[in-house]
Amino acid sequence: MIRRKLAAFMYGRYGSFGIDSLNMFLIAAGLILYIVGAVVRGRIASAVIFAVQTAAYVYLIFRFLSKNITARRKENDRFRALFSRVKGWFGLQKNRIRDRGKFVYKKCPECGAVLRLPYSKGEHTVRCPKCQNRFGVKNG
Ligand SMILES: [Zn+2]
């Protein structure tokens, strides 16, 4: 009885299609903030963490119960694009540390592509393999 009522209530709602990446992120963020909130001492910091956590859960519930499937899917796509960019940035920082002294990473001023170049002291001219633009690189 309750089960059937719940199924009828969830019919056509975004949550009935499963948990998407953004909802997964909101659940994880809420849990992490819960742990951080338990450790943090300051009253203002605790209040801010609690507010952000509440906002994450309200947004999660809103998305779960939403009937605007198209809008929620678009939201999720935007989130995934942003998340992969953030992940890419962290990956690049990791490689920069790993390659320190052996390779340098330079951004092409023309197309924005990040080039991994063998490190050698002095000034060099580099040709971007993506857009063929030539630009100067100076290694100290
Ligand atoms: Zn380029």
Structure confidence by residue, pLDDT tens digits, 81-125: 999 999 999 999 999 999 999 999 999 999 999 999 999 999 999
d(CA 30, CA 80): 18
Q: Round the CA-based radius of gyration of the chain to a whole number and report it.
A: 23
The structure's pTM equals 0.76
Average pLDDT, the chain: 95
Q: Are 56 and 26 in contact (CB under 8 A)?
A: yes
Mean pLDDT for 3-13 is: 93
Residue 140, pLDDT > 90, answer: no
Distance 31 CA to ligand 1 centre (A): 42
Sign of the C-alpha dihedral, residues 21, 24, 30, 35? negative
Give me ligand 1 centre to Cα 62, in Å.
Answer: 43
SS3 69: helix
- Which pLDDT score is estimated for 9? 94
